[in-house]
């Protein structure tokens, strides 16, 4: 099904918007109240480029929530069950954020820019409002704001070569999730080794939106010898790799899930003794054990993707949810990702996904798919 997207003033355009038009963007989605390219006309070619070459993605919709001021570190720590004690300036951490009942409300990367300044690089929910409420209700001395920051991702096995050509060989020593504040011919940005794929790469957090065109063009030019091309966060790769997609795999209002169910229990740190929102609820959940577990799913045949999460059944009763389904050219099979009852082992037979055209057999698989 293809429909037009309405371009209106209630949804923001990225600083790379015009550049993506010139690059031939064909389809948009909306993320954090901003247009984000979905594909440029040939999703299969974009997948191959990500897996074997290098792609550039407008991910400005991955907005930042900045915490700055005397209590910024205190607020950052209270927001996440992960223990931030050892985090250094220049280091990023993947930080699940939970509400008081232990349900995930976002899963950003935290960038520690200074002892009293942090960015939360957020998935698709208004974490800004949450962080504001927590900060002000607790009387913290901290500002919570959305800075002028627009990430551009460079992803794929040849990403490092492109980034080294742009910034120099020091980028090769940048460790995963670490970053450095730098500039490219005066274009200010934060360069991080990160990105929403498992193919390696970098994110350029542009800090002056008036220079989006310049940055896009610089990256495209430096990438040309490596056959760089435009792309977008790739659903096939993310399902194959088992990346979490907040909004698809879970969303607080609609499909609540806790970190233990999502396989993020290892990041919940009770031992450190630090306080965080949801600590009591997560303690209870940890004792009880998760009701569901995250799995890959082999899907029989090549049915049409439903475009939304679907129920998984066993013997006529609900046994889980398949949150996304794609056809993997690489694996030559249809695969999905979702949550099933924790007591169901990988060799469970009889599971079916309630696709629009009828139930289809599915088989649990470890993540990532191999």
Q: Is 94 helix (H, G, I), strand (E, B) or coil?
A: strand
Smallest separation, CB 248 to a second copy (Å): 4
**The binder of a second copy chosen from 29, 91, 116, 328 (CB under 8 A):** 29
Smallest separation, CB 261 to a second copy (Å): 17
Contacts of 149 (CB under 8 A, 6+ apart): 63, 64, 66, 119, 190, 205, 206, 207
Quick count: other Cβ atoms within 10 Å of Cβ 359? 14
Q: Does 257 bind a second copy (CB under 8 A)?
A: no
Q: Does 27 bind a second copy (CB under 8 A)?
A: yes
- Give the binding range for a second copy (CB under 8 A) out of 128-136, 221-229, 262-270, 293-301: 128-136
Q: Does 180 bind a second copy (CB under 8 A)?
A: no
Query: Which DSSP category does 178 fall into?
Result: B
Q: Which is nearer to a second copy, 8 or 86 (CB)?
A: 8
DSSP secondary structure of 308-358: S-EEEEETTEEEEEEEEEEEETTTTEEEEEEEEETT--TT---EEEEETTE
**The binder of a second copy chosen from 49, 93, 252, 279 (CB under 8 A):** 252
Smallest separation, CB 182 to a second copy (Å): 26
Sheet containing 92-94: give its strands across.
92-94, 109-114, 117-121, 64-68, 143-145
Closest CA to 132 of 66, 181, 179: 66
End-to-end, the C-alpha distance of the chain in Å comes to: 30
Contacts to a second copy from residues 276-315, by CB under 8 A: 306-309
Smallest separation, CB 325 to a second copy (Å): 8
Q: Does 357 bind a second copy (CB under 8 A)?
A: no
Smallest separation, CB 91 to a second copy (Å): 25
**The binder of a second copy chosen from 26, 172, 284, 330 (CB under 8 A):** 26
Q: Does 248 bind a second copy (CB under 8 A)?
A: yes
Dihedral pair phi/psi, residue 161, rounded to 5°: -65, -40
To 5 degrees, how large is the angle CA 264–CA 134–CA 278? 35
Smallest separation, CB 189 to a second copy (Å): 20
Q: Which is nearer to a second copy, 33 or 172 (CB)?
A: 33
CA distance 351 to 143: 49
Contacts to a second copy from residues 211-240, by CB under 8 A: 235
CA distance 360 to 287: 35
Q: Does 175 bind a second copy (CB under 8 A)?
A: no
CA distance 90 to 103: 29
Q: Which is nearer to a second copy, 160 or 237 (CB)?
A: 237
CA distance 286 to 276: 15
Q: Does 275 bind a second copy (CB under 8 A)?
A: no
CA distance 25 to 48: 17
Q: Which burial class, exposed, middle or buried, applies to 298 when counting CB atoms under 10 A from its CB (0-12, 13-18, 19+)?
A: middle
**The binder of a second copy chosen from 49, 82, 128, 193 (CB under 8 A):** 128
**The binder of a second copy chosen from 25, 191, 262, 340 (CB under 8 A):** 25
Q: Which is nearer to a second copy, 3 or 176 (CB)?
A: 3
Contacts to a second copy from residues 96-125, by CB under 8 A: 99-100, 105, 124-125
* Total residues at interface with a second copy (CB under 8 A): 57
**What is the x/- site pattern for a second copy, positions 36-55, by CB under 8 A?**
--xx----------------
Q: What stretches of 44-165 adopt beta strand conformation (E)?
A: 55-58, 64-68, 92-94, 97-98, 104-106, 109-114, 117-121, 143-145, 150-155
Where does this chain bind a second copy (CB under 8 A)?
1-13, 21, 25-31, 33, 38-39, 63, 99-100, 105, 124-130, 132-134, 136-138, 145-146, 235, 245, 247-248, 251-254, 306-309, 323-324
């Amino acid at each position: 099904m293809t429909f037009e997207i309405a371009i209106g003033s209630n949804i923001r355009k990225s600083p790379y918007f015009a550049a993506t038009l010139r690059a031939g963007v064909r389809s948009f989605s909306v993320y954090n109240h901003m247009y984000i390219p979905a594909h440029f006309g040939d999703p299969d070619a974009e997948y191959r480029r990500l897996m074997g070459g290098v792609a550039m993605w407008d991910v400005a919709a991955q907005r930042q929530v900045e915490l700055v001021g005397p209590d910024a570190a205190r607020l950052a720590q209270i927001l996440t069950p992960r223990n931030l004690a050892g985090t250094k300036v220049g280091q990023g951490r993947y930080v699940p954020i939970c509400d008081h009942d232990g349900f995930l409300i976002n899963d950003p990367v935290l960038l520690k820019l200074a002892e009293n300044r942090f960015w939360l690089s957020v998935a698709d929910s208004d974490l800004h409002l949450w962080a504001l409420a927590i900060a002000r209700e607790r009387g913290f001395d901290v500002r919570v704001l959305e800075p002028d920051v627009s990430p551009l991702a460079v992803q794929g096995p040849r990403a490092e070569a492109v980034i080294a050509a742009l910034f120099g060989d020091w980028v090769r020593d940048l460790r995963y999730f670490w970053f450095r504040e730098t500039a490219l011919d005066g274009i200010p940005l934060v360069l991080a080794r990160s990105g929403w794929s498992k193919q390696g790469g970098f994110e350029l957090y542009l800090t002056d939106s008036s220079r989006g065109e310049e940055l896009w063009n610089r990256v495209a030019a430096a990438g040309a010898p490596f056959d760089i091309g435009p792309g977008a966060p790739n659903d096939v790769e993310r399902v194959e790799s088992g990346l979490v997609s907040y909004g698809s795999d879970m969303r607080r209002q609609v499909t609540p899930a806790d970190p233990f169910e999502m396989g993020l229990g290892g990041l919940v740190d009770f031992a450190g003794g630090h306080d965080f929102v949801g600590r009591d609820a997560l303690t209870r959940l940890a004792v009880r054990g998760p009701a569901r577990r995250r799995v890959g799913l082999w899907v029989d045949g090549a049915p049409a993707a439903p475009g939304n999460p679907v129920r998984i059944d066993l013997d006529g009763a609900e046994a889980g949810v398949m949150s996304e389904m794609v056809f993997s050219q690489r694996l030559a099979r249809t695969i999905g990702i979702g949550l099933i009852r924790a007591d169901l082992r990988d060799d469970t037979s009889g599971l079916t996904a309630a696709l629009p055209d009828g139930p289809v057999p599915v088989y649990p698989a470890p993540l990532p798919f191999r």
